[in-house]
Chain A
Amino acid sequence: MSYNIIMKSKKKIALIVVLATILFGSIYGYYMWNKPARNVAGEKGLEITAIAIFDSFNLSEQRANALYLNKAIQVTGEVTETKQNQAGETVVYLKSNDPLFGVNCTFKENPGTIAKGSTITFKGVCTGFLSDVIINQGIIVK
């Protein structure tokens, strides 16, 4: 008799555990699926100059990838050109020691007018080195 009661309550507990797991699992899954996009504004950026980060990638791409890839980077440099990319986002190229390429910064929101030749500080996510060092989803710091 008592054995039956214990078995019943055990079954009940097991059922509750299963239901709770499903419930919290679904909430977690829903949260993960609707996780907001990464926002560098709330992250502390690694501070570096455009010349230094370009040289670092140029010297050893593998080493620079380990240091900067997917990190929030706060880069300071001289603007050589501004333009809009094909998605309408503002792009700023920062000067490096290379005659052709530099640091390619894409803003996630329109930063307003940025003058060619001015020095700016931009914070964004480094996605790698092509011919430029690529930093995107960024914001203007200064």
Chain B
Amino acid sequence: MKAIAILVCLFVTTHVMAQDYITRNGSISIYSHTEMEDIKGNNNEVVSLLNSTTGTFDFKVAIKSFHFPKQAMEDHFNDENYMETDKFPKAGFSGKITDISAVNFAKDGSYNVVVSGNLTIKDVTKPVTAKGVITIKGGKLNAQSVFNVNRKEYKIMGQSFVQSKLSDNIQITVNCDFEKR
């Protein structure tokens, strides 16, 4: 009887620990800074799943969901010289938090983590490693990270006359509020 109780306890604990966190409306913004122009776009429909046991961390992003202050910027962003969103409507990241044991999901606090994985944009997949912060508060989870990607590595070339207005390094800011699934 006692053994069964222990087994049940173990099962319940592992079950609780193997918690998935999800967002269907996470935020990612992109930012390009040059002397001539600053460009910023926001996307509030990012889907992400985080497994708190294994640390696997996946993101899916609809590129057409990025919105800009000016329609003209948005039209450029989507066209065949940049993101070609009619052909490549999605981008994604698949990886893991390398030091998942550093995060105590049961205790409120901010935890520094390193996320490593593969970023796919326009069907080009490259390894990416970024620092981030996981914040646990009252059972909810927020994940933030800022990192740079070189757009040319992902075949985002742009016309020649915009090169001075568009940085090669695009800053990506991830800020996602997760809920327990």
Contact = CB atoms under 8 A, between A and B. Distances in A.
Interface string B18-37: 00000011110000000000
Given A65-B89, A104-B25, A128 B42 contact: no
B25 A83 contact: yes
Interface string B65-108: 10100111011000000000110011000000000000000000
A126 to B, nearest CB: 8
B53 to A, nearest CB: 19
A76 interface: no
Which secondary structure characterizes the binding site on chain B?
strand
Which of B26, B45, B46, B177: most chain A CB closer than 10 A?
B45
Contacts of A65: 89
A93 B45 CA distance: 12
Chain B's interface size range is 20 to 34
A106 interface: yes
B64 A69 contact: yes
B24 A128 contact: no
Contacts of B61: 130
Given A69-B89, A85-B44, A127-B45, A101 B24 contact: yes
Nearest to B46: A130
Interface string A36-57: 1110000000000000000000
Contacts of A83: 25
Given A128-B63, A129-B90, 5 more contacts: A86-B44, A86-B177, A130-B62, A132-B45, A134-B65
A-B interface, 4 closest residue pairs, ranked by CB to CB distance from nearest: A127-B64, A128-B62, A130-B60, A130-B47
21 contacts: A33-B70, A69-B86, A70-B64, A70-B85, A70-B86, A85-B25, A85-B27, A86-B25, A86-B27, A87-B42, A89-B44, A101-B24, A104-B25, A106-B45, A127-B64, A128-B63, A128-B64, A129-B90, A130-B45, A130-B90, A132-B45
